[in-house]
Amino acid sequence: MDKYPVATSCRNLTFHWGKRTYVMGIINLSPDSFSGDGLDSHDAAVAQARRMVSEGADIIDVGGESTRPDSIPINADDEIQRVVPVIERLSRMLSIPISIDTYKLDVARAAVTAGAQMLNDVWGLKKDNRLAGLAAERNLPIVITSNQRDNPCEGDVVAAIITDLKRAAGVCQDAGVARENIIVDPGVGFGKTVAQNLEIVRRLCELKTLGYPILLGTSRKSFIGRTLDLPENERLEGTAATVALGIAAGADIIRVHDVKEMVRVARMSDAIVRGKSQALNPNL
C-alpha cells in the first residue's frame, strides 16, 4: 500500500490527512438539483456559503449543473454564468478554499480565474482529461470521482472503482499533478445500485490501498431514501449514519448539504476514531 501524502495545501488551509475529517459544504446553482436545494439567486448562494462557513465548513464546493441521473446537461457558457459571479464574491469574502464542481474545462478555467482553488470532477477525467493539465498548471488539488453511469458494474463494485480511480490518478500523474494534490472519490450514487452504494460505504477502507485521501459524498442521496423510504428532505439521519461509518472506514473529507449537523457528526466520529484531543483542535 502506498503511503498517504502527509499534507495538502490549498489557499489558506493545509489538510493534515489523518488528523481530522474535513467538511465540504455544497452550493448548488442548478434549479433541478437532486437534493431539492438548488438555488437560482447569486445572493442566496453567497448567503448560504457564508452560513456554512459559520457552521464549520472547511471547503465550499460550487456547482452549476445538476448531477441527477435524468438531468439535462447545460452548455459551458450557461454554467459559467451560474457559478463565476458567486465564486468571485466568495473568493473576496472567505478565507477557506472554494472548489468548482465541473467536468468542463472552460468552466473550470473561468472558475479558477474567478478564485476557485480546487477542482472537483464527478466524471473522473472521462469527459475531458485536460482538467488534469489545469490542476498541474495551477498547482491545484483535484478530486477524481469513479463514475459508472457510462459503464455500470455487474461484478465487484469496489474492485471496479479501484481500477477506475487508478486510471484517473494515472492521467493526473501523466499531466504533472503533484501526488499530494490528488483526492479520490468512490462516486456513491454515480451509476451504482442501492446495494452497491451500501457496499461502498461498508468497504470504503479498501480504497486506502490507492494511497490518496478519500472524499465521501453520500449526503441526501437516493440510496438513503430508498433504503429508508424517505424523501430528500428527510434524509438527515441516514446521511449521518453514512458519514459516521465512512469516517470510521477512512474518509478524509465529507461532502454535505447539512453542514452544522454533519460537522458535529464528524467531530464526534473523530473523537472516537482519531482521539479527542486531535478531533477538537481546529488547528490540526
Q: Which residues are known catalytic residues?
A: 221, 255
Distance from C-alpha of 194 to C-alpha of 224, rounded to nearest angstrom: 8
Name the nearest CA neighbour of 37 among 52, 22, 23. Answer: 52
Long-range contacts: 7-11, Cβ < 8 Å, 24+? 7/180, 8/141, 8/180, 8/181, 8/183, 8/213, 10/59, 10/97, 10/117, 10/118, 10/140, 10/141, 11/95, 11/96, 11/97, 11/98, 11/117
First to last CA, the chain: 25
**Residues 100/110, Cβ–Cβ less than 8 Å:** no
With H, G, I as helix, E, B as strand and everything else as coil, classify residue 166: helix
> Angle of helix 76-93 relative to helix 42-54, nearest 10 degrees?
40
Q: How far apart are CA 12 and CA 143, in angstroms?
A: 18
Query: Quick one: cell of 215?
Result: 472524499
| Beta strands 215-216 and 253-256, pairing class | parallel
Q: Residue 62 is placed in which grid cell? A: 460550487
